[in-house]
Amino acid sequence: MSLTLRAITANQHADWVAGRSSVSFLQLPEWGEVKKGWRAESVGWFDASRLVGAALVLYRPVPRLPQRSLAYLPEGPDIDWLRKDHPHLRLDDWLRPLLAHCKANGAFQVKMGPPVALRRWNADTVKAAMSEWQGGAVNPTARISEVLADWHSGSGAKVVDQLKASGWTQEQAAGAGFGDVQPRYVFQVPLAGRTLGDVFAGFNQLWRRNIRKAEKAGVVVSRGDRSDLAAFHHVYVETAARDHFTPRALSYFEHMWDCLNSREERLRLYCAHHDGHLAAATLMVTVGTHAWYSYGASTTADRDVRPSNALQWRMISEAHELGCTIYDLRGIADTLDPSNHLFGLVQFKLGTGGFVQEYAGEWDVVLRPLWARAFSAYQARQG
């Protein structure tokens, strides 16, 4: 069988997504509308007239030279990576027409993030590795990736080997494991086959205590609507100042709300109030059986009443009610070192009792070397 690839409409792409158990929300046609400054295109792989795969391609044009661009497929494409449905097709049968299409559309480089899981570490395994630091080990394990995994995918490893053999390359992870645009290591809570009681019992003692503490302190969690985004943004700006990151504008979140909820409700806002004011707020995205914690904000003054734990419990509860099989807390650093400034986030998410999931990461192939070098130099000058 020979696959062909061509542009498809946003509606065709949405119909494809509707027939899948889930795809990344970064591969929704609606996400292309969110990303201003990028040109979005939906493409589909066809076996004769039958659609067998789809992707959102985002083109970032070169400044003042829009005929050349970087093509990016965040957490995509949505194809049969592990050869479950099309065992007779090689990975190159899928990727060759993609590269030809992107090059014909002026791309000098293609970056993609295969949604292929490689390894998994259960919470107890990570906790045991962390205890080496508390126990005064001479050479404690510094990274999660250095710990023996509880599960690994042979099929996923073959995908990585095939990408390397086909000329795709991968940047070395910087710092504590954040070498990619999208996180390679994420923390997920399994919901399939578990009651909410099971999920709550899987939390560590601190998480359970903090959820109860928020309830006793009178923290009230409710669903917000678009009009509540302004209040969320106010607390989000405070969070950005405290945690030293550049906040997005309110208009970004309003646009994100409008786009992701244009066909069906995918983006939800949750607000935690304490003593009559907003103490914390979060955003959750759902696509099929997968739910993602997207953005969070909290005030410094209300930390002691644990609104963030209350919000997470509410989102997990609603994801369970929606029939989701995974609640995804998104990225964590690949670190076990308590002195690392990213360690606290690992520890916080670990308390949910889920698992660390490693994905294949992001891969690049250069189609026009001169343009790729020039664009890289331009980005370096921009800092």
Beta strand 326-331 with 290-298 is: parallel
pLDDT of res. 293: 98
Task: Kindly tell me if the per-residue pLDDT of 383 is higher than 70.
Answer: no
66 and 182 co-located in one domain: no
339 and 239 co-located in one domain: yes
Task: Kindly tell me if the per-residue pLDDT of 180 is higher than 60.
Answer: no
Q: Where are the alpha helices (DSSP H) in 188-306?
A: 196-202, 205-216, 229-243, 250-260
Find the CATH number of the domain harbouring 277. 3.40.630.30
Residue 168 covered by a domain: no
352 and 373 co-located in one domain: no
Tell me the pLDDT of the chain averaged across its residues: 95
| Amino acid at the residue 176 | A
Residue 161 covered by a domain: no
In 3D, which of 101, 121, 144 has the Cα closest to residue 7? 101
Contact between 33 and 14 (Cβ < 8 Å): no
User: Does residue 77 have a cis bond before it (omega within 30 degrees)?
Assistant: yes
Task: Kindly tell me if the per-residue pLDDT of 130 is higher than 50.
Answer: yes
More confident residue, 349 or 65: 349
Residue 73 covered by a domain: yes
pLDDT of res. 136: 76
At residue 371, φ and ψ (nearest 5 deg) are -65, -40
87 and 144 co-located in one domain: no
246 and 370 co-located in one domain: no
pLDDT of res. 65: 80
Question: pLDDT (tens digit, 9 = 90+) per residue, 83-129?
Answer: 999 999 999 999 999 999 999 999 999 999 999 999 999 999 999 99
Least confident of 100-109, 132-141, 176-185: 176-185
At residue 365, φ and ψ (nearest 5 deg) are -135, 135
Sign of the alpha-carbon torsion through 312, 298, 30, 82: negative
Average pLDDT over residues 143-160: 98
Q: Which tokens is 278 given?
A: 């907003």
Task: Kindly tell me if the per-residue pLDDT of 177 is higher than 70.
Answer: no
Question: pLDDT (tens digit, 9 = 90+) per residue, 368-377?
Answer: 998 888 888 8
Q: Which contiguous run of DSSP H or E holds residue 127?
A: helix 123-134
Least confident of 56-65, 98-107, 173-182, 364-373: 173-182
147 and 279 co-located in one domain: yes
Task: Kindly tell me if the per-residue pLDDT of 349 is higher than 70.
Answer: yes
Task: Kindly tell me if the per-residue pLDDT of 139 is higher than 50.
Answer: yes
How many C-beta atoms surround the C-beta of residue 351 within 10 A?
A: 20
Average pLDDT over residues 45-60: 96
218 and 186 co-located in one domain: yes
Residue 167 covered by a domain: no
Least confident of 152-156, 236-240, 265-269, 375-379: 375-379
Residue 166 covered by a domain: no
pLDDT of res. 62: 86
- pLDDT bin (cut points 50, 70, 90) of residue 173 is low
> Domain limits at 241?
117-152+173-359
Question: pLDDT (tens digit, 9 = 90+) per residue, 243-256?
Answer: 999 999 999 999 99
Instruction: Work out how many domains the chain is built from and give that number.
Output: 2
Residue 271 covered by a domain: yes
Task: Kindly tell me if the per-residue pLDDT of 150 is higher than 90.
Answer: yes
- pLDDT bin (cut points 50, 70, 90) of residue 1 is low
Among all chains, which residue has been given the structure tokens 């019992």? 201
pLDDT of res. 138: 77
Task: Kindly tell me if the per-residue pLDDT of 161 is higher than 60.
Answer: yes
Question: 0.75 cut: is pTM over it?
Answer: yes
pLDDT of res. 270: 98
Task: Kindly tell me if the per-residue pLDDT of 156 is higher than 90.
Answer: yes
Average pLDDT over residues 274-299: 97
